[in-house]
């Protein structure tokens, strides 16, 4: 367990289609961290600007159309590895007093999707050497990209659906040939997905050639790479969360079976199911998933192996598709799952407040490990080059 009373920055929002969902996760995390620590909201607005302040704990702040909230702006001081609060509010340039450093022990990232879950934010924090909860850049980026995900799963011998990926340039050059290659490879029904989005945004099920063309058109508006894969019909979806960090034995949660209103889980099913915009907490689901002991164990084992194969850290939710013959396929990994999947840990005897402590503990341990890595490699290369060029000048 980490010491109590830590200053924990909770980052949420971000330039992502999952911005609003992230606000819900962020506010949940702030609420639960309050019990043992001093959480600090760090809101990344759609504009890309960062803000802090107590007003950010209120959901109403985000419901105004006026753009950025009325809160203190934060600036990233990369050189010194810290965040700075513009002391008088407003922008740093307008501020008369000098900016104050924000003393943070660790950051909890509640950012879903683009730039928050895909390694971008993690990269900025690495440059600043700030410890944060969740996987490092490589694992975050790999899990966010559905094509890279397929490659890593295949390499690790983990089951995934076959797929065909193509680029926007190919599509714009010759739409008919992209559709023809898909049709040669797979029968309908098919799924088209943008490679690096989430929350079902741009995901389409298609049963006819015009539907396929429309789905790809939409997919390529949203992403530069799309993939097509066969649909799993009359099957089910099962998710399992895993907690751990590289070099430690991962632990799998109980499994859930999300319940979709239609043939696949839409954004609405995932986040609006409870009708209160509660994030994944409000979605309809069965816990534990009613799939029997043997399938449950298989899913938990595959989830833990996928977590390890990607080098994940923190809590990752691994999503599966199970077909009518009970064949199990890993669908995707969500490295910052909605609500940190706390509802999958609670039935296993890990309350949300303890889950947060374990995540912080893992983050601090991983950060210490990272700092042990040598980044200095002394050579006489430059001296030799300088001597060489002097000799050259003389000759």
**Residue 240 in the binding site for ligand ADP (CB under 6 A):** no
**Residue 231 in the binding site for ligand ADP (CB under 6 A):** yes
Shortest spacing between CB 235 and ligand ADP, in angstroms: 7
Q: Which of 122, 316, 331, 341 binds ligand ADP (CB under 6 A)?
A: 331
**How far is residue 74's CA from residue 79's CA, in Å, rounded to a whole number?**
15
In 3D space, the residue among 263, 164, 145 whose CA is nearest the CA of residue 216 turns out to be: 164
Shortest spacing between CB 14 and ligand ADP, in angstroms: 16
**Residue 332 in the binding site for ligand ADP (CB under 6 A):** yes
> Tokens 């909605």, residue?
338
The interface region with ligand ADP, picked from 103-111, 129-137, 228-236, 369-377 by CB under 6 A, is 228-236
* b/e 181-207 (16+ beta carbons within 10 angstroms → b): ebeeebeebbbbbbbbbbbbbbbbbbe
- Please identify the residue of the shown chain whose CB is closest to the bound ligand ADP: 264
H-helix segments, the chain: 19-33, 120-128, 137-144, 146-155, 168-173, 175-185, 209-222, 267-271, 292-310, 342-345, 352-371, 381-394
Cis peptide upstream of residue 17 (ω within 30 degrees of 0)? no
In 3D space, the residue among 124, 47, 32 whose CA is nearest the CA of residue 78 turns out to be: 124
**Residue 265 in the binding site for ligand ADP (CB under 6 A):** yes
Shortest spacing between CB 338 and ligand ADP, in angstroms: 10
Nearer to ligand ADP, 76 or 264 (CB): 264
Report the sign of the C-alpha dihedral through residues 101, 106, 110, 114, in that order: positive
Shortest spacing between CB 67 and ligand ADP, in angstroms: 27
Residue 131: other Cβ atoms inside 10 A: 18
Nearer to ligand ADP, 161 or 336 (CB): 161
Shortest spacing between CB 260 and ligand ADP, in angstroms: 6
Q: Tokens at residue 219, please? A: 């997919």
**Residue 237 in the binding site for ligand ADP (CB under 6 A):** yes
Nearer to ligand ADP, 229 or 256 (CB): 229
**Site map 174..213 versus ligand ADP, x via CB under 6 A:** -----------------x-x---xxxx--x----------
In 3D space, the residue among 212, 40, 202, 9 whose CA is nearest the CA of residue 113 turns out to be: 202
For 58, residues 6+ apart whose C-beta sits below 8 A from its C-beta are none
Nearer to ligand ADP, 73 or 319 (CB): 319
Contact present, 7 and 325 (Cβ < 8 Å): no
Nearer to ligand ADP, 219 or 244 (CB): 219
Q: What is the DSSP letter of 4?
A: S
Shortest spacing between CB 243 and ligand ADP, in angstroms: 20
How far is the CA of 3 from the CAs of 6, 38, 106, 313, in angstroms?
7, 12, 12, 20
Nearer to ligand ADP, 36 or 285 (CB): 285
Residue ranges in 301-330 that form contacts with ligand ADP under rule CB under 6 A: 319, 321
**Site map 153..172 versus ligand ADP, x via CB under 6 A:** --------x-----------
Contact present, 225 and 246 (Cβ < 8 Å): no
Shortest spacing between CB 146 and ligand ADP, in angstroms: 7
Shortest spacing between CB 363 and ligand ADP, in angstroms: 24
Nearer to ligand ADP, 36 or 193 (CB): 193
**How far is residue 103's CA from residue 221's CA, in Å, rounded to a whole number?**
41
Nearer to ligand ADP, 19 or 193 (CB): 193
**Residue 37 in the binding site for ligand ADP (CB under 6 A):** no
Q: Which spans of this chain sit near ligand ADP (rule: CB under 6 A)?
A: 161, 191, 193, 197-200, 203, 229, 231-232, 237, 260, 264-265, 319, 321, 331-332
């Amino acid at each position: 367990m980490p010491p109590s009373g830590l200053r924990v920055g909770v980052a949420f929002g971000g330039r992502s289609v999952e911005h609003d969902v992230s606000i819900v996760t962020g506010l949940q995390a702030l609420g639960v961290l309050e019990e043992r620590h001093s959480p600090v909201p760090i809101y990344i607005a759609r504009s890309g600007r960062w803000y802090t302040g107590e007003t950010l704990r209120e959901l109403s702040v985000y419901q105004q159309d006026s753009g950025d909230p009325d809160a203190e702006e934060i600036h990233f001081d990369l050189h010194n590895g810290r965040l700075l609060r513009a002391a008088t509010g407003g922008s740093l340039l307008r501020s008369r007093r000098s900016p104050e450093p924000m003393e943070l022990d660790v950051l909890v990232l509640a950012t879903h999707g683009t730039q928050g879950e895909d390694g971008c934010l993690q990269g900025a924090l690495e440059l600043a050497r700030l410890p944060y909860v969740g996987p490092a850049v490589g694992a975050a980026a790999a899990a966010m990209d559905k094509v890279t995900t397929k490659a890593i799963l295949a390499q690790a011998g983990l089951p995934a659906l076959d797929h065909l990926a193509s680029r926007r340039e190919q599509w714009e050059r010759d739409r008919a040939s992209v559709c023809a290659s898909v049709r040669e490879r797979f029968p309908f029904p098919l799924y088209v997905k943008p490679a690096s989005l989430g929350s079902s945004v741009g995901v389409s099920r298609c049963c006819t050639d015009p539907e396929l063309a429309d789905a790809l058109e939409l997919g390529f508006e949203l992403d530069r790479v799309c993939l097509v894969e066969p649909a799993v019909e009359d099957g089910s979806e099962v998710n399992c969360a895993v907690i751990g960090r590289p070099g430690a034995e991962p632990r799998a949660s109980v499994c859930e079976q999300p319940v979709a209103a239609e043939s696949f889980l839409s954004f609405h099913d995932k986040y609006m199911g409870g009708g209160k915009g509660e994030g994944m907490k409000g979605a309809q689901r069965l816990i534990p998933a009613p799939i029997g002991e043997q399938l449950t164990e298989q899913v938990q084992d595959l989830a833990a192996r996928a977590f390890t194969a990607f080098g994940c850290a923190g809590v990752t939710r691994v999503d599966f598709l199970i077909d009518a013959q009970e064949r199990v396929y890993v669908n995707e990994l969500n490295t910052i799952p909605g609500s940190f999947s706390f509802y999958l840990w609670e039935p296993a005897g890990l309350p949300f407040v303890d889950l947060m402590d374990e995540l912080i503990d893992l983050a601090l341990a991983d950060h210490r490990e990272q700092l042990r890595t040598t980044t200095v490699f002394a050579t006489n290369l430059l001296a030799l080059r300088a001597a060489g060029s002097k000799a050259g000048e003389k000759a």
